[in-house]
């Protein structure tokens, strides 16, 4: 059910004796509701309205606009990500010809609120090495190629996650049940088995269809507590986690040694109060637990992509092309202007793509060390590095992954929530003679559509975070007062002002006209606002701000310098 121009998410309001639906996320004229709709809704409801020639009708009541979960559901609907699923039948795949791994200690590690478990892992110490099993839900066993649901999944391309909610790529009967690797239940998987030697170097991988039974559903926080000795676990499980931690550290060390980028961006997480509000927000603080899964998933993805690439098979590779030398020259100039030590800039035209790949890794390492030593530019400087790189995308050709310094890479480990992973499953199983499912006919079109949809979904998810933060900031102002001062960091600049990270998690825009006492312009490098009278505001600089205005419906926050006078103006919602 794509909303688009056909319907609009709106809040029910009254003007005089008439009842309207006022567009909530997208500016527009209020829609006069038909008489019948007025008896079906309450003032303040968020609804899906269909505009008519004279009056509009309500197609769905989402709930009170005063509750954050209603607003986030409305965002998924408004964006077209919440769609009806195509008809399907739940098959009963045969169990023969599967390797029975149900006696193997297996566990999942996911966010606390996760419902769809794509991956599980097992690790076993052996003489001279470690045997690693990465078990991935065998979604293709339940999703016949060319079926209506398969076409729908390809169109949706991925699941879109907002805090506390998801618009899934597959129906919940599959994504949260039949395919989800729930604990103490038999589940069908595609397993990648690898033997790592004493130096944790990868041997020849094995791939096969399997039957597993996860023995533990662990959260990131729980794993972090177990690894740090703050929480007890069954001895066998605790030993497996400790061994997995050693494997993860070694894999990461090898990856950085070969030139992979070391840029870590923690995820923003939220807790709700159960009464329709946002209770708190924080950046995830379980780096070791996240690394366990990330490193083993990269290992499996590289193994699958390596096999397909070696045999010249088409699939949907995850590619990240090498940076342009010109972009790196500009990056070095920006960092130099910000007094961040970097490797020397190469002479124009002297840098090959391979050298550019190594150079950006060295730059990233220099930035990380500088930030760790000085505490300056924690948000702004790593972001500068990321923006100098090309965007990762999908492609039927193996073009390598520069950010991981990988010669072949694909997305294989999340087929419940990403369609390119389903394609890679089919490509692998077909190559191994374990499936007759054909790949889609136009992989190039699917690759482009998946890449575009991924970027669009990221914008929706970012906007959802902004909205939740705006709700939380409003709550904080009610508790602490309107004139609370925040320490912040300048994380972005445009001609008209600067963006500030403040209060650890919040972000807002401070218009240049409010800086006062000077006329500011963006410098040629885009790293500072320069004042005609000598004033200067640079990326990474500390700044103290106050909140001037919050738009909860959009998530936008306007700031003013701390201590400046608050103008008289209204706020919306």
- From the candidate CATH numbers 1.10.4100, 3.30.70, 2.40.50, 3.40.50, the one assigned to the domain spanning 8-65: 2.40.50
CATH number given to 481-561: 2.40.50.140
What CA–CA distance (Å, rounded) separates 420 from 432?
18
Contact yes or no for 383/491 (Cβ under 8 A): yes
Which strand (E) or helix (H) includes residue 272? strand 268-272
Strand partners, 551: 556
What CA–CA distance (Å, rounded) separates 340 from 323?
20
Q: What is the mean pLDDT of residues 113-132?
A: 94
* Helix 235-257 × helix 220-227 angle, to 10°: 100
pLDDT at 1 over 60: no
Q: What is the pLDDT of residue 463?
A: 97
Distances (CA, A) of 550 to 44, 276, 278, 513, 547: 19, 18, 15, 18, 8
Q: What is the pLDDT of residue 568?
A: 57
Confidence class of residue 349 from pLDDT cuts 50, 70 and 90? low
- pTM for this structure? 0.93
Closest CA to 141 of 172, 112, 174: 174
Strand partners, 522: 529
pLDDT at 28 over 70: yes
Contacts (Cβ under 8 Å, ≥6 apart) of 264: 287
The three-class DSSP label of residue 439 is: coil
Which strand (E) or helix (H) includes residue 58? strand 57-64
What CA–CA distance (Å, rounded) separates 379 from 498?
14
Q: What digits encode the pLDDT tens for the residues 470-528?
A: 999 999 999 998 889 999 999 999 999 999 999 999 999 999 999 987 889 999 999 99
Strand partners, 44: none
Name the one residue in this structure whose structure tokens are 């740090």. 228
Burial pattern 182-218, b for ≥16 Cβ within 10 A else e, equals bbeeebbbbbbbbbbeeebebeebebbbbbbbbbbbb
CB atoms within 10 A of CB 549: 16
What CA–CA distance (Å, rounded) separates 100 from 470?
50
Distances (CA, A) of 186 to 100, 175, 493: 10, 15, 53
Closest CA to 284 of 378, 369, 220, 372: 220
Please give the radius of gyration of the chain, using alpha carbons only, rounded to the nearest integer: 26
Task: Supply the mean pLDDT for the chain.
Answer: 93
Q: Cα-flanking dihedrals φ and ψ of residue 489, to 5°?
A: -130, 135
Q: What is the pLDDT of residue 224?
A: 93
Which of 52 and 216 is assigned the larger pLDDT? 216
Q: What is the DSSP letter of 438?
A: P
Strand partners, 510: 498
Q: What is the pLDDT of residue 503?
A: 95
Q: What digits encode the pLDDT tens for the residues 354-374?
A: 788 888 999 999 999 999 999
pLDDT at 38 over 80: no
Which strand (E) or helix (H) includes residue 286? none
**Residue 262: burial class (beta carbons within 10 Å; 0-12, 13-18, 19+):** middle
- What are the start and end residues of each CATH 2.40.50.140 domain in the chain? 481-561
* Token pair belonging to 397: 């050709």
Q: What is the mean pLDDT of residues 317-344?
A: 92
Q: What digits encode the pLDDT tens for the residues 228-282?
A: 999 999 999 999 999 999 999 999 999 999 989 988 788 899 999 999 999 999 9
Q: What is the pLDDT of residue 3?
A: 42
Closest CA to 554 of 164, 47, 25: 25
The three-class DSSP label of residue 463 is: helix
């Amino acid at each position: 059910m794509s909303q688009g121009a056909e319907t609009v998410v709106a809040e029910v309001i009254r003007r005089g004796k008439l009842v309207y639906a006022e567009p909530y996320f997208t500016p527009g004229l209020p829609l006069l509701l038909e008489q019948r709709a007025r008896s079906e809704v309450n003032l303040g409801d968020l609804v899906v309205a269909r505009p008519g020639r004279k009056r509009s009708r309500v197609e769905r009541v989402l709930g009170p606009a005063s509750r954050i979960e209603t607003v986030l559901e409305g965002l998924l609907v408004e964006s077209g990500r919440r769609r009806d699923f195509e008809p399907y039948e739940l098959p009963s795949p045969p169990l023969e010809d599967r390797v029975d791994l149900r006696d193997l200690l297996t566990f999942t590690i996911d966010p606390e609120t996760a419902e769809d478990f794509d991956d599980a892992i097992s690790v076993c110490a052996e003489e001279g090495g470690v045997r690693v099993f990465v078990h991935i839900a065998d979604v293709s066993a339940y999703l016949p190629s060319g079926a209506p649901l398969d076409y729908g999944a390809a169109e949706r391309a991925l699941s879109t996650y907002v805090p506390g909610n998801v618009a899934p790529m597959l129906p919940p009967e599959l994504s949260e049940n039949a395919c989800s690797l729930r604990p103490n239940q038999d589940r069908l998987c595609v397993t990648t088995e690898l033997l790592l030697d004493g130096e944790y170097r990868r041997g020849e991988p094995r791939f096969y269809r399997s039957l597993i039974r996860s023995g533990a559903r662990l959260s990131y926080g729980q794993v972090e507590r177990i690894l740090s000795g703050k929480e007890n676990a069954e001895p066998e499980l605790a030993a497996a986690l400790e061994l997995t931690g050693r494997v993860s550290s070694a894999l990461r060390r090898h990856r950085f040694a070969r030139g992979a980028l070391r840029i870590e961006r923690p995820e923003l997480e939220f807790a709700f109060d159960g009464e329709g509000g946002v209770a708190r927000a924080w950046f995830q603080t379980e780096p070791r637990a996240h690394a366990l899964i990330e490193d083993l998933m990269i290992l499996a993805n590289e193994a699958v992509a390596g096999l397909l690439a070696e045999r010249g098979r088409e699939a949907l590779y995850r590619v990240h092309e090498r940076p342009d030398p010109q972009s790196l020259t500009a990056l070095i100039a920006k960092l130099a202007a910000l007094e961040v030590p970097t490797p020397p800039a190469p002479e124009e035209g002297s840098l090959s793509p391979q050298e550019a790949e190594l150079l950006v890794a060295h730059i990233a390492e220099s930035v990380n060390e500088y930030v760790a030593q000085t505490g300056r530019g924690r948000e702004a400087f790593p972001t500068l590095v990321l923006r100098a790189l090309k965007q990762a995308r999908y492609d039927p050709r193996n073009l390598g992954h520069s950010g991981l310094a990988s010669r072949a890479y694909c997305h294989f480990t999340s087929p419940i929530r990403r369609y390119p992973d389903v394609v890679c499953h089919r490509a692998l199983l077909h190559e191994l003679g374990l499936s007759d499912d054909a790949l889609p006919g136009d992989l190039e079109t699917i690759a482009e559509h998946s890449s575009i949809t991924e970027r669009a979904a990221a914008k929706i998810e970012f906007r959802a975070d902004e909205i939740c933060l705006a709700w939380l900031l409003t709550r904080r102002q009610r508790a602490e007062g309107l004139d609370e001062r925040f320490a912040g960091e300048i994380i972005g600049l445009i001609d008209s002002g600067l963006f500030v990270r403040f209060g650890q998690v919040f972000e807002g825009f401070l218009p240049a006209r409010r800086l006062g006492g000077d006329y500011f312009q963006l410098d040629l490098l885009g790293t500072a606002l320069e004042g005609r009278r000598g004033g200067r505001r640079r990326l990474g600089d500390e700044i103290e701000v106050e909140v001037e205005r919050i738009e909860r419906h959009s998530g936008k926050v306007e700031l003013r310098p701390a201590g400046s006078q608050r103008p008289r103006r209204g706020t919306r919602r």
